[in-house]
Amino acid sequence: KFTPDGLRRAKRLKFIGHAAGSVVAVVHEDVFDAGITVTNANKPLAQSTAEAAVAFMLAGAWRLKHYASRLQAGGWSDNHNETVLGLQGKTVGLIGYGEISRHVIRLLQGFQVHFLLYSRHCSAEEAAALGAELCSLEELLARSDIVSLHSTWTPRTEGMIGRSELRRIRDGAVFVNTARAAIVEEDALLEELRTGRFSAVLDVYHQEPPAASHPLLQLPNVLCLPHIGGFHHGFKSNLGAFVAQDLLRFTLGQPCLGAITKETYRRLTPK
């Protein structure tokens, strides 16, 4: 990590590029007072995570785990008495505003969904330009057919989705988490999911990997994935290339597309 002491010694250092997401693990906040440009590869990484989030929304809305398990057990479907939530025309609530949320909105355009957005960093005008309705967290949870978590894990957001918030999720909804598990109170989530009121698709956990006996992995209404958001080969191979292109832009005196400011640094995941 570039510590304050290291930065004082690095008299010629002008550019730090991180071929991943959060730069908190590699640079101290003092870097922004040293006149050093810091960039990361969050933009291509966000595209991959957004694609995963949409895939998880579809998997939850179509109850893919339920029907795959039934078929493996020798059963079949009954389209006369059963149905699925689906995505077409539904209300999708996005918690958190950033690159991932913007890509999710773009990817879901063909489904004619209504977007709700909760964020402390987005104005109503910005939300409207994206085609989303800015609202409170409580309203989003109560109105959404699909709730997708995209907030950054910070001391302020840790445990933000607790028992009272989870109880506001409507019956039959789908809760998707591709962000960080620490934003959600795990015991409260387990309590609500055990009632069967709503389902969940989870890609992140408080302990990774979770034990094979973890109760979340045993619930029939929960689809658990092993933190695969960001796996997409094309996007993954582009992370280093994106940072290298930013280095080229820097040497040419052009703006860096992945530039991090002190303000955005303070909103990044610390781990």
Other CB atoms within 10 Å distance of the CB of residue 118? 24
Is residue 227 annotated as part of the catalytic site, yes or no? yes
**Residue whose entry in the numeric block shows the structure tokens 């104005």:** 123
Other CB atoms within 10 Å distance of the CB of residue 93? 27
With beta carbons less than 8 A apart as the criterion, state whether 149 and 176 touch. Answer: yes
Which is the catalytic residue, given 12, 80, 125, 208? 208
* Distances, alpha carbon 200 to alpha carbons 65, 124, 224, 231, in Å: 11, 28, 8, 20
With beta carbons less than 8 A apart as the criterion, state whether 240 and 77 touch. Answer: no
What is the rounded CA–CA span in Å between residue 169 and residue 52?
Answer: 22
Q: Give SS3 for 34.
A: coil
Is residue 208 annotated as part of the catalytic site, yes or no? yes
Non-local (6+) Cβ contacts of 97 within 8 A are 117, 119, 121, 122, 126, 127, 150
What is the rounded CA–CA span in Å between residue 49 and residue 37?
Answer: 25
With beta carbons less than 8 A apart as the criterion, state whether 188 and 215 touch. Answer: no
With beta carbons less than 8 A apart as the criterion, state whether 153 and 204 touch. Answer: no
Which is the catalytic residue, given 227, 232, 249, 267? 227
Active site residues: 180, 208, 227
